[in-house]
C-alpha cells in the first residue's frame, strides 16, 4: 500500500514529512535522484528521461501512485508523461495542482470556465527550468482570468539549501525577492514553486512583507493526497514499508537528509 514520492534531490522530503504526518498509516517510498540534481538547470528532454526512469523504479517498488515532489519535473515532464507514457493502472500526480486549487479556491475537477479570483498579482519563485516551462501560468489560465503572474528564477538557491548553507540561502532569497519586486512592486501572493523552498518560507515572508500571502506546497500537497486517496483507495500499491532510495552516495545523502529534516534518515542505493 506504499505511495511513491520522487524528487531530484532533498527538497521532496518537505512533502514527504507533511504527507507522512497527515497519513501516518501509509508507507512511502522516497526516491531522490541526487546523482543528477539539480533538475532546474536541465532541458526538458533530459528532465523527462530522468523522471520516467525514477517513476519506473518506484513502480518496481509497488507504488502504483507516484507524487512528483519536484516542480521542475511536474512542469517539464508530467503533461508529456500523462499523454503518452503512463499505463492506465498507474497514476503520477504533480505538485502544481494543490497550489492552483488553493490560489483559485476551486477543486481540480471543476471544469467550469475560468473566472475572476480575488488575487490579481502573483509572484512565482521557482527554478530556471520551471520558469522557462510557463507550466504554472498555463494551468492557472485554465481556471482564472485577470491574474498577473511575475516569475523569478531563483538561481543558486537549491544548491545552497542542499549544502546546508543557510546564510547564503537567506541572502539569495533577499536578492531574488528584490529582483521580483523591481518587476512587480506590490504582489498580493507569492508561490514558492520548489519543494526546497518551504525551508526558507520565513525568509521569503520577511523579504516580501506581512501583507503578502505566501503559499508553500508541503501541507497543501498532503491535504490533496489525503483527499485523492479517500476517493481512489485502489491506488494504494503493494509496498508495505517506508524506504528511502537514492542514485547518489547513500551515506552522504543520509547525512544531508538527516540534517535537512533534523531526524535520522537512512537512504539505500537505488
Quick one: DSSP state of residue 192? E
3-state secondary structure 229-269: HHHCHHHCCCCCCCEEEECCCHHHHHHHHHHHHCCCCCCEE
Length of the chain as a residue count: 270
Q: What angle do CA 50, 268, 36 make, to 5 degrees?
A: 25
Cα separation, 27 vs 240, whole angstroms: 6
The label of the residue with cell 493526497 reads 225
Asked if 70 is an active-site residue, the reply is yes
Cell of 138: 498555463
Q: What angle do CA 141, 130, 54 make, to 5 degrees?
A: 115
Which residue from 107, 131, 132, 105 is spatially nearest to 117, judged by alpha carbons? 105
- DSSP tally for the chain: helices H, then strands E: 12, 12
Cα separation, 188 vs 190, whole angstroms: 7
Spatial CB neighbours of 56, under 8 Å, sequence gap ≥ 6: none
Contact 123, 184 (CB under 8 A): yes
- Annotated binding-site ranges: 7-8, 39-40, 71-72, 195-196
Q: Please tell me which residue in 70, 78, 140, 225 is annotated as part of the active site.
A: 70
Which residue from 118, 113, 109, 110 is spatially nearest to 141, judged by alpha carbons? 113
Q: Please tell me which residue in 50, 180, 194, 212 is annotated as part of the active site.
A: 194
- Annotated binding-site ranges for substrate: 7-8, 39-40, 71-72, 195-196
Catalytic residues: 70, 194
Amino acid at each position: 500500500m506504499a505511495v511513491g514520492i520522487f524528487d531530484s534531490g532533498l527538497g521532496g522530503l518537505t512533502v514527504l514529512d507533511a504527507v507522512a504526518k497527515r497519513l501516518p498509516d501509509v508507507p512511502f517510498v522516497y526516491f531522490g535522484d541526487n546523482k543528477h540534481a539539480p533538475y532546474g538547470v536541465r532541458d526538458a528532454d533530459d528532465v523527462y528521461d530522468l523522471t520516467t526512469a525514477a517513476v519506473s523504479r518506484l513502480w518496481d517498488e509497488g507504488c502504483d501512485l507516484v507524487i512528483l515532489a519536484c516542480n521542475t519535473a511536474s512542469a517539464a515532464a508530467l503533461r508529456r508523461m500523462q499523454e503518452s507514457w503512463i499505463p492506465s493502472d498507474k497514476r503520477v500526480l504533480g505538485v502544481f495542482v494543490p497550489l492552483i486549487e488553493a490560489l483559485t479556491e476551486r477543486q481540480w475537477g471543476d471544469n467550469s470556465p475560468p473566472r475572476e479570483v480575488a488575487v490579481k498579482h502573483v509572484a512565482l519563485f521557482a527554478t530556471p527550468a520551471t520558469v522557462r516551462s510557463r507550466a504554472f501560468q498555463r494551468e492557472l489560465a485554465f481556471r482564472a482570468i485577470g491574474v498577473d503572474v511575475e516569475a523569478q528564477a531563483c538561481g543558486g538557491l537549491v544548491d545552497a539549501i542542499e549544502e546546508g548553507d543557510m546564510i547564503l540561502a537567506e541572502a539569495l532569497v533577499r536578492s531574488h525577492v528584490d529582483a521580483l519586486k523591481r518587476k512587480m512592486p506590490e504582489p498580493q501572493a507569492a508561490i514558492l514553486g520548489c519543494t526546497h523552498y518551504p525551508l526558507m518560507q520565513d525568509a521569503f515572508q520577511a523579504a516580501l512583507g506581512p501583507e503578502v500571502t505566501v503559499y508553500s506546497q508541503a501541507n497543501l500537497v498532503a491535504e490533496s493526497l489525503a483527499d485523492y486517496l479517500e476517493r481512489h483507495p485502489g491506488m494504494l500499491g503493494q509496498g508495505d514499508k517506508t524506504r528511502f532510495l537514492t542514485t547518489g552516495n547513500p551515506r552522504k545523502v543520509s547525512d544531508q537528509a538527516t540534517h535537512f529534516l533534523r531526524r535520522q534518515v537512512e537512504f539505500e542505493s537505488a
